[in-house]
């Protein structure tokens, strides 16, 4: 797949020299095309193999990750510029992106929180209460690991491997995946476990669950929704958010930061023809490096 890197390198030179674009613009275009490259490599496609249907599948995957319509449009613009350049250079006989349509900006997509909004939500938590550190650990885990709410409430201590830097998640269809866990999540779960959780009476059968209510039983999905709704109201955030919003924010912030599209799909446990095959081939060390490099919570 070396042709991708060669074409992208030449494209970047063209943007800098021929079009005299600013460094930030060049970087943005390059980042957009790199996302397409990662998709194409996973599909075993060279540059000249790309067709309209492939690009449509690529865009669908961006949508499935919860990327905003505006961000999708920017990426499509970068991809179009890339293929237009290849056409000018006579590297292609036709432009596979010519008929691609920009997403309607008004199209309803999952809500995504900014990093600032997530920080504001967490700052709103009252850490003087018994439940405060638990709630902070919950939000950090949702955002830093991209978990579904059911995966969060069912998380057990025997599925956490802090020394290795992973948690084992039991997802849909009882499928298991390993998700890198950031130092901030490890810290908050440790504080919660040593404080609130250790000094409460735990109901029989609930001993291994990480997150418990004040009566010592496993938290319910509804309770997680309630915690987040109350924090959003106190923080003055008007977006219609839920636990799943943190999952979409996790994916969006990683993708916009430059993380590999396939690695994000693997960490989310998305079900599709392509991702199930990728599961057996992705190196777990690579997944950890991806989240450590690109997730905002790993930059502290």
Q: Three-state SS for 218? A: strand
pLDDT confidence of residue 268: 84
The whole-number average pLDDT for the span 261-287 is: 54
Structure tokens at 261: 């599209």
For the chain, what are the domain ranges?
2-88, 115-299
pLDDT confidence of residue 248: 83
Residue 244 known to be catalytic:
yes
pTM, full prediction: 0.60
pLDDT confidence of residue 153: 93
In contact, 300 and 200? CB cutoff 8 Å:
no
Residue 279 known to be catalytic:
yes
pLDDT confidence of residue 210: 94
Catalytic one of 156, 203, 221, 244: 244
Q: What are phi and psi of 180, to 5 degrees?
A: -60, 140
Alpha-carbon distance of 168 to 15, in angstroms, equals 43
Catalytic one of 247, 248, 253, 297: 247
Residue 247 known to be catalytic:
yes
pLDDT tens digits, 218-256: 998 889 999 999 999 999 998 888 898 898 888 878 877
The whole-number average pLDDT for the span 22-42 is: 89
Confidence class of residue 129 from pLDDT cuts 50, 70 and 90?
confident
Catalytic one of 74, 134, 148, 177: 148
Catalytic one of 51, 175, 239, 279: 279
Q: How many CB atoms are closer than 10 A to CB 203?
A: 14
Q: What are phi and psi of 258, to 5 degrees?
A: 110, 10
Catalytic one of 60, 107, 172, 215: 172
pLDDT confidence of residue 151: 93
Residue 285 known to be catalytic:
no
DSSP for 155-179? -BGGGEETTTTEEEEE-GGG-EEEE
Alpha-carbon distance of 220 to 211, in angstroms, equals 10
Measured CA angle at 66 (ends 62, 227), to 5 deg: 160
pLDDT tens digits, 164-217: 999 999 887 778 889 998 888 999 999 998 887 877 889 999 999 999 998 999
Structure tokens at 20: 């005299």
| Domain 115-299 CATH class label | mainly alpha
Catalytic one of 218, 270, 295, 297: 270
Residue 270 known to be catalytic:
yes
pLDDT tens digits, 13-26: 999 998 888 888 88
Indicate the fold that domain 2-88 takes in CATH: DNA polymerase; domain 1 (1.10.150)
Query: Looking at per-residue confidence, does 131 or 300 come out higher?
Result: 131
């Amino acid at each position: 797949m070396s042709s991708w890197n060669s074409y992208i390198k030449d494209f970047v030179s063209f943007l800098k020299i021929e079009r005299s674009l600013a460094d930030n613009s060049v970087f943005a275009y390059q980042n957009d095309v790199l996302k397409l490259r990662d998709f194409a490599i996973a599909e075993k496609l060279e540059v000249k193999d790309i067709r309209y249907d492939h690009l449509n599948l690529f865009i669908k995957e961006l949508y499935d990750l919860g990327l905003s319509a505006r961000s999708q449009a920017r990426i499509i613009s970068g991809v179009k510029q890339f293929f237009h350049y290849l056409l000018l250079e006579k590297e292609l006989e036709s432009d596979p992106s010519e008929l691609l349509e920009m997403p309607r900006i008004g199209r309803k997509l999952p809500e995504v929180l900014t990093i600032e909004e997530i920080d504001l939500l967490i700052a709103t938590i009252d850490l003087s209460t018994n439940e405060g550190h638990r709630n902070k650990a919950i939000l950090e885990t949702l955002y830093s690991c991209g978990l579904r709410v059911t995966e969060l409430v069912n998380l057990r201590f025997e599925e956490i491997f802090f020394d290795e830097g992973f948690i084992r998640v039991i997802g849909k269809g009882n499928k298991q995946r390993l998700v890198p866990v950031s130092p901030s999540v490890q810290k908050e779960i440790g504080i919660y476990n040593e404080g609130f959780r250790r000094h409460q009476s735990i109901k029989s059968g609930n001993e291994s669950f990480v997150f418990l209510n004040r009566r010592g039983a496993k938290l319910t999905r509804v309770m997680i929704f309630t915690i987040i709704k109350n924090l959003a109201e106190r923080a003055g955030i008007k977006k219609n958010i839920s636990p799943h919003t943190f999952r979409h924010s996790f994916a969006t912030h990683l993708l916009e930061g430059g993380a590999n599209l396939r690695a994000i799909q693997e960490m989310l446990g998305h079900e599709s023809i392509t991702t199930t095959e990728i599961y057996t081939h992705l190196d777990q060390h690579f997944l950890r490096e991806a989240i450590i490099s690109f997730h905002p919570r790993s930059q502290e």
